[in-house]
Amino acid sequence: MTLSRRDFLKLSALVTASAALSSCAPVYRKLAGDLPAVPWTALSANDFLALNRLTFGPRVDERARFVDIGLKAWIEEQLDFESINDLACEIQLSPFKSLKLDANELEGISNQLFDGYDRDTIPNELRQSTLIRQLYSKRQLYEIMVEFWSDHFNIYIEKGNGFYLKTVDDREVIRKHALGSFRDLVWASAHSPAMMIYLDNQANEKSHPNENYARELMELHTLGVDGGYSQKDVMELARCLTGWNVKEHFWLGDFVFKEDLHDTGVKNVLGLTIQPSGIQEAEQVIEMLAVHPSTAKFISTKLARRFIADEPPQELIEKAAQTFLDTKGDIKSVLRVILLDGLALAQPKYKRPANYVLSSLRMLNAETDAVAINEHLLRMGQSYFNWPTPDGYPDRSESWQGNLMPRWQFAFELIRNEIKDTKHNLKNLLDVSSTGILQDDVDALTSLLLGAPLERIGRDRLIDSVRAAGATEEETLQIVAGGLIASPAFQWR
Amino acid sequence: MLQTLPMLHQNKSWMPRLAFAPQNTAPRGDTLVVVFLRGAADVLNMVVPHGEDAYYQLRPSLGIARPDDSKKKKEERAVDLDGFFGLHPNMQPLLDAWQSEQLAIIHACGAPDESRSHFKAMELMERGVDDERGPASGWIGRHLATLNTGNTSPLRAVGMGTRPQKSLTGSVPVSALRSIADFHLGGDQRALQQMRMALSTVYQNDVMGQDTLSIMDTLQTLDPLTYAASRDAKYPDTEFGLALKQTAMLIKAQVGLEVSAIDLGGWDTHFAQGSSTGLMPNLMKDLAEGLAAFHADMFDHQNQLTTVTMSEFGRRASENGSLGTDHGHGSMMMVLGGNVDGGKVHGQWPGMEEGQLIGPGDLAVTTDYRDVLSEILTKRLNNPATDEIFPEYQPVMPNVLR
């Protein structure tokens, strides 16, 4: 469904008119064609798993579309993300003015002059908008890749001026190249002031070299820790990077190469002799790193870990790495291999906190402004842009299995509609397929959340245990639904 | 139940291993309680150098009278500790711990940073680094990450407040508790019972789920309002008192608590801070009464407990024109516990004469705060990895522990 410009203006006005986003969201999402009034489609176990890897938790309409066109066509549709109409989501982002500002303007709006800096508004808008995109964007694979690269090129928003520079990095580095070429991505990241500040390259000067960024550029961004570089290479690359810096006055917050801080000697990185050529020295190295076989393998491994398994199959990594080299780092081509060859080999992955929260909200078709959701994520340990070390939020299941309580609290607060400005309606959700019998409703909910109904014995035991605690029929359905979201099974995707 | 769920049919090869392999494995040591006095506490009025003439010249209005100053009322005079230093009268509740040699004071202690910016100094201190470069995680976070105590409790490290303190940031999950009730499920008794039943059904074959349920059950029975402290200890009826009380409750409930981080704010006293009474003396009262109650309540646990206080920097040696003090440098730490070399003021006193003060007239730092923390970490928490906890810093043990 496409919208005319007039429709768009009408919808925008509707949003702007209402301060409480969540209250009017269904109206314009319906106009944008999001809510089919049909029962949700039953999925095979494989399809349910695939959709759980390709989205932040499948919505009802996404299940229908997936079954309609099949895995391959779904992936192609999602890879061609720019042709997916995402108006409804974009309208919801319109209140977040900071998303579109440049560094200088962002500094301006956060500088309170005599009261120092407002370090909260800009990061909060970035977090809120990130969650809204993950929840409501139809470009789910793109949003997953944005999250992936935000981890890969992690920046801790609390450090120094990162609190406003990350907004620029998110827009100009991560979102711009998330499904583009890896070379462009790493190039943009290397010229990103937020990254300079986060990894101390603004302190990397001829007289006191600072190796921090040079090391992470090879260890975490390209080659990987076993990628075949030495401490000497780190030191030499750090010398190439001397003078890569951030403007402190006019056009403050922009990238700048400071000639006077640059080490003008000859360098040698990974066997390549680098003649003095100012900013081009490190750029030459970045070109080399971006298409290095170690990089191809490292990036392929991480992608396969995100989508397929904590310990992905070796053959898959090798095939994806070969594609990376053949295409000079075309991210879509590598993803195609990983998804089409890999999904059949998928192993269970424990949902990271954001994935857990988002999947329950999406599957229940909940409405939220994402503010209180971020508070829950903070307690679970994954409020975005809050990971201090440069390796990004961990992607292995074992890292997240230690803290169940905040997940249980979220599950029951959500299901009891106790989260601020967040609403769902089980009755409406079940309406289209309900027979009015509790057991059937529980089966329907279980298929929605876990992909298939429980065995009868397990289902009845769950229902009976809640009833034994004195729940009415309506309460039983609600508490069982909360129990399903809190359950071990729902922690995995 | 677990076996009937579609996603969980698979064999167990994917079951959790430890998140990372810390290089040190050791049994857990003391429970560590870290109290951060936010806003830069005026330590010169907390542990008063009454043997220092310059102190009285620099603070004609704010200075705390000598213990033997007969012109002042007793409740306005410092309480002598060792002939040179004395406690502010409102810090008197700590005298018991001092006399039983379980309280050590390290004066002129602090960080090398001289920015005198709260934001910067707090951040650096919580990260345990010298300047903005270096790891962005917190020193307690790195302590947890470098020591495997075999303890997987979700309450291994707790930040008292709405969010974990920056010092706790790192790869090991920590919990933020405004109150013990944060580890409860919400809802009335009936709803609670129903949720509990649903959880115990879906988690009946899951060890971690069962552990979490049992901690939840334990905590569900704890209520700070009806808690009876040992030895008639009376916690002040303040946020700080409540945080200490709940730390005591968690320790006694044996739910795996290794570190508790507590904040006490409001110390940025530029204006009318008060001498023997007023704004800052009230904060000292809260601090001292809280720590004294905690010390008494935890008397039977003293050998497995170390409490340390810190602040981002000290305040100017001289009072300012608005009967307050401005941002300074050298601060003070207190260490409380059964293994402390207490009843002593440790550290080298740099003096307050002209030429002894630094910068705009501030107390110098003669003991780095990381020396004190390193000694606690290695001797009481069994973690030798101070080179990772405080990177690029070589600690010198100040011998504040026995």
The tens digit of pLDDT for each residue in B102-125 reads: 999 999 999 999 888 887 899 899
B window 16-35, beta carbon within 8 A of A: 16-20
Contacts of B7 in chain A (CB under 8 A): 49, 348, 450-451, 489, 492
Confidence tier at B208 by pLDDT (50, 70, 90): confident
Residue A477: inside a domain: yes
Distance of residue A401 Cα from the nearest chain B Cα, in angstroms: 8
Q: Are strands A244-246 and B344-346 parallel, antiparallel or unpaired?
A: unpaired
Residue A243: inside a domain: no
The average pLDDT across A264-272 equals 97
SS3 B345: strand
Distance of residue B354 Cα from the nearest chain A Cα, in angstroms: 32
What is the rounded radius of gyration, in angstroms, for the C-alpha atoms of chain A? 24
CA dist., res. A169 & res. A194, Å (int): 6
Check residue A39 and give its pLDDT.
60
Beta pairing partners, A245 = A256
Per-residue 3-state assignment (H helix, E strand, C coil) for chain A: CCCCHHHHHHHHHHHHHCCCHHHHHHHHHHHCCCCCCCCCCCCCHHHHHHHHHHCCCCCHHHHHHHHHHHHHHHHHHHHCHHHCCCHHHHHHHCCCHHHHCCHHHHHHHHECHHHCECCCHHHHHHHHHHHHHHHHCCCHHHHHHHHHHHHHCCCCCCCCCHHHHHHHHHHHHHHHHCCCEHHHHHHHHHCCHHHHHHCCHHHCCCCCCCCHHHHHHHHHHCCCCCCCCCHHHHHHHHHHCCCEEECCCCCCCCEEECHHHCCCCCEEECCEEECCCCHHHHHHHHHHHHCCHHHHHHHHHHHHHHHCCCCCCHHHHHHHHHHHHHCCCEHHHHHHHHHHHHHHHCCCCECCHHHHHHHHHHHCCCEECCHHHHHHHHHHCCCCCCCCCCCCCCCCHHHHCCCCHHHHHHHHHHHCCCCCCEECCHHHHHHCCCCCCHHHHHHHHHHHHHCCCCCHHHHHHHHHHHHHCCCCHHHHHHHHHHHHHHCCHHHEC
Distance of residue A10 Cα from the nearest chain B Cα, in angstroms: 40
- pLDDT, tens only, B307-340: 999 999 999 999 998 899 999 999 999 999 999 9
Q: Which two tokens stand for residue A21?
A: 């986003």
AA identity, residue A442: V
Q: Which two tokens stand for residue A182?
A: 């890896």
Contacts of B1 in chain A (CB under 8 A): 454, 458, 461-462
Chain B residue closest in CA terms to A409: B185
Distance of residue A411 Cα from the nearest chain B Cα, in angstroms: 10
Check residue B118 and give its pLDDT.
84
User: Which letter does DSSP use for residue B213 in this model?
Assistant: H
CA dist., res. B126 & res. B138, Å (int): 6
Residues A363, A331: one domain?
A: no
AA identity, residue A76: E
A window 186-215, beta carbon within 8 A of B: 198, 200, 203, 210, 212
Residues A321, A373: one domain?
A: no
Check residue A8 and give its pLDDT.
46
Residues A363, A484: one domain?
A: yes
The average pLDDT across A405-418 equals 96
Evaluate whether A103 touches A253 at the Cβ level (below 8 Å): yes
Counted domains in chain A: 2
Evaluate whether A303 touches A178 at the Cβ level (below 8 Å): no
Out of B135, B138, B199, name the one closest to residue A408 (CB).
Answer: B199
Residue A323: inside a domain: yes
Residues A359, A464: one domain?
A: yes
CA dist., res. B97 & res. B86, Å (int): 14
Check residue B321 and give its pLDDT.
86
Confidence tier at B86 by pLDDT (50, 70, 90): very high
The average pLDDT across A191-206 equals 94
Residue A150: inside a domain: no
- pLDDT, tens only, A469-486: 999 999 999 999 999 999
Distance of residue B292 Cα from the nearest chain A Cα, in angstroms: 31
Asked whether the predicted pLDDT for residue B1 surpasses 60, the reply is no
Residue A442: inside a domain: yes
CA dist., res. A442 & res. A465, Å (int): 14
Q: Which two tokens stand for residue A477?
A: 């359905």
- pLDDT, tens only, A53-100: 999 999 999 999 999 999 999 999 999 999 999 999 999 999 999 999
Asked whether the predicted pLDDT for residue A43 surpasses 70, the reply is yes
User: Which letter does DSSP use for residue B150 in this model?
Assistant: S
Domain final residue pick, A324, A345, A366: A345
**What residues contact B88, with CB distance under 8 A and at least 6 apart?**
B45, B46, B47, B48, B64, B78, B79, B276, B281, B284
Confidence tier at B2 by pLDDT (50, 70, 90): very low
CB B137 to CB A457 under 8 A? no
Residue A198: inside a domain: no
Angle, vertex CA A71, rays to CA A69 and CA A76, nearest 5: 85
Check residue A377 and give its pLDDT.
95
Residues A373, A474: one domain?
A: yes
Beta pairing partners, B259 = B32, B157
The average pLDDT across A187-201 equals 96
Out of B134, B136, B194, name the one closest to residue A466 (CB).
Answer: B194
Q: Could you tell me the pTM of the whole model? A: 0.79
User: Which letter does DSSP use for residue B63 in this model?
Assistant: P
- How big, in percent rounded to 5, are the helix, strand and coil portions of chain B? 35, 15, 50
Q: Tell me the C-alpha to C-alpha distance, in Å, between residue A450 and each of A139, A354, A399, A459, A492.
A: 23, 18, 22, 13, 9
Asked whether the predicted pLDDT for residue B177 surpasses 80, the reply is yes
Place of tokens 């550290």: B347
Residues A326, A305: one domain?
A: yes
Q: Which two tokens stand for residue A337?
A: 């291999």
Chain B residue closest in CA terms to A44: B6
Q: Which of A120, A412, A450 best tests the B interface by mutation, with the highest count of B CBs <10 A?
A: A412
Residue A33: inside a domain: no
Helix (H) or strand (E) holding B8: none
Evaluate whether B162 touches B176 at the Cβ level (below 8 Å): yes
- Work out the angle between the directed axes of helices B207-220 and A405-415 (0-180°, nearest 10): 80
Residues A307, A425: one domain?
A: no
CA dist., res. A346 & res. A339, Å (int): 10
Distance of residue B196 Cα from the nearest chain A Cα, in angstroms: 9
Contacts of A347 in chain B (CB under 8 A): 10, 14
Evaluate whether B270 touches B326 at the Cβ level (below 8 Å): yes
Evaluate whether B171 touches A398 at the Cβ level (below 8 Å): no
- pLDDT, tens only, A223-237: 998 899 998 999 999
CA-closest candidate to residue A217, choices A203, A207, A202, A227: A227
CA dist., res. B92 & res. A175, Å (int): 59
- Please give the share of chain A, as a percent, with pLDDT higher than 70: 92
A window 87-116, beta carbon within 8 A of B: 116
At residue A20, φ and ψ (nearest 5 deg) are -85, 100
CB neighbourhood size of B118 (10 A):
17
CA dist., res. B20 & res. A174, Å (int): 28
Check residue B248 and give its pLDDT.
98
CA-closest candidate to residue B308, choices B141, B166, B154, B102: B102
Is A442 exposed, middle or buried (CB count within 10 Å of its CB: 0-12, 13-18, 19+)? buried
End-to-end Cα distance, chain A? 30
CB B152 to CB A402 under 8 A? yes
Domain final residue pick, A345, A365, A382: A345
Residues A377, A329: one domain?
A: no
AA identity, residue A280: Q
CA dist., res. B113 & res. B313, Å (int): 9
What is the rounded radius of gyration, in angstroms, for the C-alpha atoms of chain B? 23
Q: Touching check for A57 and chain B: CB below 8 Å? A: no
The average pLDDT across A251-260 equals 94
Give the lowest-confidence range in A153-157, A231-235, B115-119, B346-350: B115-119
Residues A341, A396: one domain?
A: no
Residues A476, A389: one domain?
A: yes
Residue A322: inside a domain: yes
Check residue B174 and give its pLDDT.
87
Out of B10, B19, B193, name the one closest to residue A348 (CB).
Answer: B10
Contacts of B195 in chain A (CB under 8 A): 408, 412, 479, 482-483
- pLDDT, tens only, A420-462: 999 999 988 887 767 889 999 999 999 999 998 888 998 999 9
Supply the range of the domain harboring residue A298: 293-345
- Work out the angle between the directed axes of helices A279-290 and A182-190 (0-180°, nearest 10): 150
CA dist., res. A475 & res. A482, Å (int): 10
B188: left (phi over 0), alpha (psi -120 to 50) or beta: beta
Check residue A389 and give its pLDDT.
79
Contacts of A348 in chain B (CB under 8 A): 7-8, 10, 14
Residues A300, A401: one domain?
A: no
Asked whether the predicted pLDDT for residue A241 surpasses 50, the reply is yes
Evaluate whether A400 touches A350 at the Cβ level (below 8 Å): yes
Asked whether the predicted pLDDT for residue A30 surpasses 80, the reply is no
Give the lowest-confidence range in A101-115, B161-175, B337-351: B161-175
Domain final residue pick, A345, A373, A407: A345
Q: Touching check for B197 and chain A: CB below 8 Å? A: yes
Confidence tier at A352 by pLDDT (50, 70, 90): very high
Give the lowest-confidence range in A26-30, A335-339, A380-384, A418-422: A26-30
Ordered structural domains, chain B, with CATH: 35-179+224-389 (3.40.720)
Residues A298, A384: one domain?
A: no
Out of B2, B19, B154, name the one closest to residue A398 (CB).
Answer: B19
Asked whether the predicted pLDDT for residue A36 surpasses 60, the reply is no
CA dist., res. B302 & res. B280, Å (int): 29
Confidence tier at B22 by pLDDT (50, 70, 90): low
The average pLDDT across A92-112 equals 95
Evaluate whether B127 touches B227 at the Cβ level (below 8 Å): no
Q: ipTM score here?
A: 0.87
Confidence tier at B379 by pLDDT (50, 70, 90): very high
- The mean predicted confidence, pLDDT, of chain A is 90
Q: Touching check for A124 and chain B: CB below 8 Å? A: no
**What residues contact A5, with CB distance under 8 A and at least 6 apart?**
none
